[in-house]
Structure formats: structure tokens, C-alpha cells
Amino acid sequence: VGCKAILVFFQYGVMANFYWLLVEGLYLHVLLVLIFSPNRHFTVYLLIGWGIPTIFIITWTVTRIILEDTGCWDTNEHGGPWWVIRIPILISIIVNFILFISIIRILLQKLRSPDVGGNDQSQYKRLAKSTLLLIPLFGVHYTVFALFPDRSSNNYKIIFELCLGSFQGLIVAVLYCFLNSEV
């Protein structure tokens, strides 16, 4: 029971990580689109970041108990319970990637406006810098292997996620906190 409980909390942490990346994307998108919005929607963000993973982890736990209650739940012989976690994570990755593209489009429109000074080269440098800063914040690197089957790309996926995913929090902290003069 203890091993299963630890695995449930582990899976909850993984899913909450993806949904908090989604919340960051939603928050930034709302800031850019609705400039004068007095309502900050923090309760909705909290429900998305903690609530949606809770619902799916409870559903996953129940389906594991009913369909595949063997061992410590660290293997997936049947695909059903695993997809209860996998589909919401894939949806959050896809929605976050769409928000990322939308924000890049908004930044490109703002850089092309006549109010922004500078030549084309400096505008593209600003766009490239903005894009590179948003990649770790949105977790865009997860889209690389999101739609591939686990068995076909498992070795490359592990190496890729260990290299980029492990340092994502550090990269975001350095870029948005330690190098930010406002913080």
C-alpha cells in the first residue's frame, strides 16, 4: 500500500507539473490579450493547476484498483489505466503549444508595429530572444516526443527529457528570477 501511495503522489506531481505549465501559458496569454482585465482569475488557475490533476489521479487510482491491481503499479500491462493519465497530459501539452504559438504571433505583431523602433534585424533578434525565453517557461520541449508511442522513442525520449526536463526549473529560475532586475 505504501509503494502504491508513493506512486500515486509521484504521478500527481508529474501531472500537476504539466498543468502548472499550462496555467503559466494561460496566464501569459490572458495578460497579452486582455490588457485591462481587472479580474486576475487566480481561483481558476488554482483549480486548473491542482484540481484537474486531482480528478484524473483519483480516476487513475480507481481504474488501477479495478483493472490492474498488481504489484506496485509501476508496470502497465493494460493500456487503459495508463491513458487516464496520458491523455490529459497530452492535452495540456498541445494546448500549451497552441498558446505558445499564439503568443509568438502576438509578439511578432507587436514588433512589426510602427511604434517599435529599430531595424528588421533588431526586431528579429528581439523575437528570437522572446521565443527562446518562452520555450522553458511553456515546456515546449515536451512537444517533441508528446505524440510518439512510448516504445518507439523510449531511449531518445529518456535522454532528451533528462537533459532538458531536469534543468527546466533551474533555467526558468535563472531567466525569470535571478537575471530579472525587478525580482
Note the pLDDT of residue 179: 74
Cell (9 digits) for 84:
487516464
Phi (first) and psi of residue 139, to 5 degrees: 65, 35
Mean pLDDT on 123-134 = 71
Q: Considering the domain boundaries, does residue 106 fall inside one?
A: yes
Looking at the structure of the chain, the number of domains it has is 1
Here the CATH number for the domain that contains residue 151 is 1.20.1070.10
Note the pLDDT of residue 47: 93
d(C-alpha 133, C-alpha 129), whole Å: 6
DSSP calls for 91-147: HHHHHHHHHHHHHHHHHHHHHHSTTS-S-HHHHHHHHHHHHHHHHHHHTGGGGGTSS
Q: Considering the domain boundaries, does residue 141 fall inside one?
A: yes
d(C-alpha 138, C-alpha 56), whole Å: 21
**CA 163-168-169 angle, 5° bins:** 135
Provide the domain limits for residue 68.
1-178
d(C-alpha 81, C-alpha 158), whole Å: 22
Contacts of 109 (CB under 8 A, 6+ apart): none
**pLDDT greater than 90 at residue 168:** no
pTM higher than 0.75 for the full model?
yes
Q: Considering the domain boundaries, does residue 124 fall inside one?
A: yes
Note the pLDDT of residue 74: 74
Q: What is the pLDDT of residues 19-73, one digit of tens each?
A: 998 998 888 888 888 766 666 678 889 999 999 999 999 999 999 888 888 888 7
Cell (9 digits) for 139:
515546456
Residue that is written with C-alpha cell 501559458 in the block = 25
Q: Considering the domain boundaries, does residue 157 fall inside one?
A: yes
